[in-house]
Amino acid sequence: MLKKKILLLVGSLNQTSQMHQVSDELRDYDCYFSQLYSNAPIVKFAARRGWLDATILGGEFMRRSTAYLQQHNLRNDYASAAFGNRYDLVVFCSDLIVTKKLRAIKTVFVQEGMTDPLTVQGKIIKRLGLPGYMAGNTALNGTSNICDIYCTASPGYKQQFTSMGTDADKILVTGIPNYDNVKSFLNNDFPHHNYVLVATSDIRETYNKDDREAFLANCVKIAAGRQLIFKLHPNEQKERAIAEIKKIAPADALVYTDGNTSHMVANCEELITQYSTVVYIGIGLGKKVHSYFDVEKLKKLSPIQNDGTSAANIADVCRHYIEHKGSLKEFLASYTLPKLTPRNAAATA
C-alpha cells in the first residue's frame, strides 16, 4: 500500500528545522517540503522583481532553507509542482498565505515563534478582512482561521490567536520545536561566558523604523562595562549593521553573523533583544532579558517546556488527523494530545 503524502511548508531556517523535526516523527508517511509560496499574480510579480526578498518568500530566507533541505536530503517539491504529488495533508509554517489548492486539503498550522507587533496597518488589514501578508510583517500570523488545526507554543499564544479571530477549538497547545527544551542549550561549546548578548532584528529590512543608534547606545549602557557580544539577524544588511556597532560599541565588542544563537543565549549573563523569539530561551533559562515587547507579557506567552516532545506532539496531531474519516468538528471533539516523555517520544520516530 502506498504511503500517504504530507507536504510541509518552510520559510526561515528556524521554521525549516522545526518542520524537519516534525517530519522525523512521521516516517510512516511520505514527506515532502516546499518554501512557502503564493499563486496570486501580484505576489508572484513582486517575488520576481525581488521585492519580497526580505520575506520568507525569497531572498536569504529561501536560500538558507533550500540549502538546509539539500544538506539533509529532504525532498523539495517547491510550489507543489516538482513531483506531481497529490497530498493528503499540508503542514503550514504560516497562515498568511494559503493557496486555494492547498485549502482543499487537510491543513495543520505550526507556530514558529514570536509574532511581530500589531501596527495600525495590521489592524486595518484585519478589520477589512484582507490577506494577512498585507500587514507587512508576521503580526497576523496564526490569526486567519484558515487552517483546520493550529499547533501553538503556549496557552498564552492560544489566547492571543483566539482574541484575534482563530477558533479556540482549533488550537492545540503542543509546544514548538527549538523552544521546548531550553535547558538542553546549556551543554554547548561556545567559547565565551558571562557577557551581555544582543540579538538584533531585521526591522529595517522589513521596511519598518528602527533607531539603531539609540538602541546600540542603550545596549552599551545596560552592559555597563561588561563584555558585549552581538548576534545579527540573518536577514540584516550585515555590513551596515557591523559598521554601526563599531561606531558606538566598545572596541572589544564581538559581532557574529552566524553561529548557534541558542548556545550564545545559554552562556550569556544578560540578554538584549528587539523582536527576537530567542528572548524565550533567555526567559526559560532564568536570564535577565530586555525586549521591545513587554517582558511580563512575554513570560505569559513563553513556550511550554516539555523536554523536547513538541515535534512528536505535532506529528501525533498530523497522524491522527490524516487518518480521521469524519469531519473536522468530530476530530476536534475526540482528539486528545498524548502524554509523551523524551523516551517514548523518540520511540515514535
Q: Which residues of the chain have pLDDT under 50?
A: 343-349
pLDDT at 342: 62
* SS (HEC) of the chain: CCCCEEEEEECCHHHHHHHHHHHHCCCCCEEEEEECCCCCHHHHHHHHCCCCCCCCCCHHHHHHHHHHHHHCCCCECHHHCCCCCCCCEEEECCCCCCCHHHHCCEEEEECCCCCCCCCHHHHHHHHHCCCHHHHCCCCCCCCCCCCCEEEECCHHHHHHHHHCCCCHHHEEECCCCCCCCHHHHHCCCCCCCCCEEEECCCCCCCCCCCCHHHHHHHHHHHHCCCCEEEECCCCCCHHHHHHHHHHHCCCCCEEECCCCHHHHHHHCCEEEECCCCCHHHHHHCCCEEECCCCHHHHHHHCCCCCCCCHHHHHHHHHHHHHHCCCCHHHHHHHCCCCCCCHHHHHHCC
Question: What are the distances in angstroms from CA 78 to CA 9, 126, 190, 239, 315?
Answer: 9, 29, 35, 31, 22
> What are the sequence ranges of the domains in the chain?
5-180+306-347, 182-301
Residue 23 has a pLDDT of 98
C-alpha closest to that of 176 among 135, 142, 132, 126 = 142
Per-residue model confidence (pLDDT) at position 345: 43
Question: Does 5-180+306-347 match 182-301 in CATH topology?
Answer: yes
pLDDT at 68: 97
Residue 94 grid cell? 504560516
Predicted pLDDT of residue 341: 67
Task: Provide the CATH topology of domain 182-301.
Answer: Rossmann fold (3.40.50)
- Its CATH architecture, for the domain 5-180+306-347, is 3-Layer(aba) Sandwich (3.40)
Q: What is the pLDDT of residues 261-280, one digit of tens each?
A: 999 999 999 999 999 999 99
Is the Cβ–Cβ distance between 33 and 19 less than 8 Å?
yes
| Structure confidence at residue 346 (pLDDT) | 39
The pTM of the full predicted model, rounded to 2 decimals, is: 0.89
The pLDDT of residue 60: 84
Contact partners, residue 59, CB within 8 Å, separation at least 6 = 50, 52, 53, 235
pLDDT digits (tens, 9 = 90+) for 100-133: 899 999 999 999 999 988 889 889 999 998 888 8
